[in-house]
Structure 1
């Protein structure tokens, strides 16, 4: 259970960084260059991680890195930007808060993880808390923006679970690095064709891009994908509810926004949902390690290897 707590704490780094990213992006980054913004967010992050793991893909990981980069980086970043432009932040954040339920239901066919009742209850309570915090009902919602936000939920849930399915036994820093590089390179020609020359960046914008790229992308994505490897998808999805919580707290502590009683109640509900989704307490590990089978049982790691050929991929998938 102590090990699970460490993985939960590591995974929580990602939604906290993404929640802070809302404020940094809105306050300091150019609003009219979404494609360049996404590319400048992805490429430096990928190159920084490659500096830590100087390895290149091998075999099937050439096309897997490209697929995951397009889904998790290129398409997702573009959809999130479109939703943030077409919808009030409160509405866009609330739609994205549906991702825990989406991830749970997609995890069943993709990675053979059936959602637990506690996960479903936590997701419902957490979604209710986000709605209580953010929805005001005072503004009309764009249909196009709602569709973009809903598509972002589906794309990110599918891409993250595909990463979980494929990345067993691989170096997580290296896999994340190549996803970011592939996604950033894919965006560049579209950015040049649609937006023309890259935007001029002030010193403040350069510092903001440093945070967005290194903290909210390189560090956050590595933590998130590592959590997906070691925790149930339902638990990881619920930890993602810390994203809108962090956004609200940044608004109060940094931007001087008012924290209402309704928002405090919503925060309490969200945190309750996250606690409900914590990993179930397991038996102590056998001497053979955390995957050693109990008497008369098949090892859970062995069953995963049989059911998912991709999990047999060894760490040497990357060539030095």
Structure 2
């Protein structure tokens, strides 16, 4: 149980970092260059992890890295960038709250990971809490932003399920490095053709790009994919609900957005959903006092002192 809690705590780093990334992107990065914003987020992170991994893809992993890079990096980062720039910090993660349910059901259908009833209940309660959080004063529902959030949720869910399906072979560090690098490279030509030269990086933008690339990407993706390898998809998906909670808290504390009773009630529901869906491990079977355990009988050694 302690081991699972440790992996869950590590995976929780990712949604908290992503929730803060909405604020950083909206406040400090240019609104009209989402392709460059996504590329400058992915490539430095991927190159840094490549140096650490010191391993290149082999065999089927060339194609898999391209697929995961397109889903988890190229498309996902662009959609998140658009959502961050068109919606309030507390509203941007709204549709992403459906990700735990999509991930849980997808893992059930595609990976044969049968969810516990608590996972299904929590995956339904969590979005209800997010609706409360985001339905108060100052909530924004711009169609472009909502559609971008929905697209981000769908492509990331597909990418996470494929990541879990292909979790054998190379280590998490290498796989994360490959997909971030591939995803960043895929964006370079479309960014140059549609948005012109890269945006100037100076002043506060330096720190913003450093945060989005190093913390919200390199660190967060390593934590997230490590959690996906160690825990069920349903458990990791529910941790993603910490994303909108972080967005709301930062929107209130830094962006001057309103916090009322609905937001507080919603956060309570979300946190309850995360706790309800936490991973449990089977209780250890107590030793048989009248004889030896199966393992002890197999070795011929008694379970304890002889009577």
- 1:168 corresponds to: 168
Over the aligned positions, Cα root-mean-square deviation in angstroms equals 2.0
- 1:126 corresponds to: 126
Q: Greater shift after overlay, 262-271 or 134-143? A: 134-143
- 1:208 corresponds to: 208
- 1:115 corresponds to: 115
Q: By how many angstroms is 1:142 displaced?
A: 4.5
User: Are the structure 2 counterparts of residues 17 and 279 from structure 1 closer, same or farther at C-alpha, using a change threshold of 3 Å?
Assistant: same
**C-alpha contact (below 8 Å) 1:94/1:135 kept by paired residues:** no
Q: By how many angstroms is 1:275 displaced?
A: 0.3
- 2:159 corresponds to: 159
Distance 1:145 1:41 in 2: 20
Q: By how many angstroms is 1:32 displaced?
A: 1.3
**C-alpha contact (below 8 Å) 1:69/1:180 kept by paired residues:** yes
**C-alpha contact (below 8 Å) 2:69/2:178 kept by paired residues:** yes
Distance 1:16 1:142 in 2: 24
- Cα-to-partner distance string for 1:105-138 (whole Å, 9 max, x where unaligned): 1112221112221011111111111111112487
Distance 2:266 2:144 in 1: 27
- Cα-to-partner distance string for 1:2-58 (whole Å, 9 max, x where unaligned): 000000100000001001111111111111111001000000000111121111111
**C-alpha contact (below 8 Å) 1:74/1:183 kept by paired residues:** yes
- 1:36 corresponds to: 36
Unaligned runs of at least 5 residues, structure 2: 286-293, 296-307
- 1:57 corresponds to: 57
Distance 2:139 2:129 in 1: 19
Distance 2:71 2:216 in 1: 18
- 1:76 corresponds to: 76
| SS of the residue 2:225 aligns to | helix
Q: Highest CA radius of gyration, 1 or 2?
A: 2
Following superposition of structure 1 onto structure 2, how do residues 181-220 of structure 1 map, counting pairs within 5 Å?
A: 181-220=181-220
Q: Greater shift after overlay, 85-94 or 245-254? A: 85-94
- Cα-to-partner distance string for 1:53-81 (whole Å, 9 max, x where unaligned): 11111111111111110111111112223
Distance 2:18 2:59 in 1: 32
- 1:309 corresponds to: none
- 1:20 corresponds to: 20
User: Are the structure 2 counterparts of residues 137 and 110 from structure 1 closer, same or farther at C-alpha, using a change threshold of 3 Å?
Assistant: farther
Q: By how many angstroms is 1:152 displaced?
A: 1.8
User: Are the structure 2 counterparts of residues 163 and 244 from structure 1 closer, same or farther at C-alpha, using a change threshold of 3 Å?
Assistant: same
TM-score w.r.t. length of structure 2? 0.87
- 1:177 corresponds to: 177
Q: Greater shift after overlay, 164-173 or 235-244? A: 164-173
User: Are the structure 2 counterparts of residues 160 and 116 from structure 1 closer, same or farther at C-alpha, using a change threshold of 3 Å?
Assistant: same
Unaligned runs of at least 5 residues, structure 1: 286-293, 296-320
- 1:106 corresponds to: 106
**C-alpha contact (below 8 Å) 2:129/2:267 kept by paired residues:** yes
User: Are the structure 2 counterparts of residues 280 and 175 from structure 1 closer, same or farther at C-alpha, using a change threshold of 3 Å?
Assistant: same
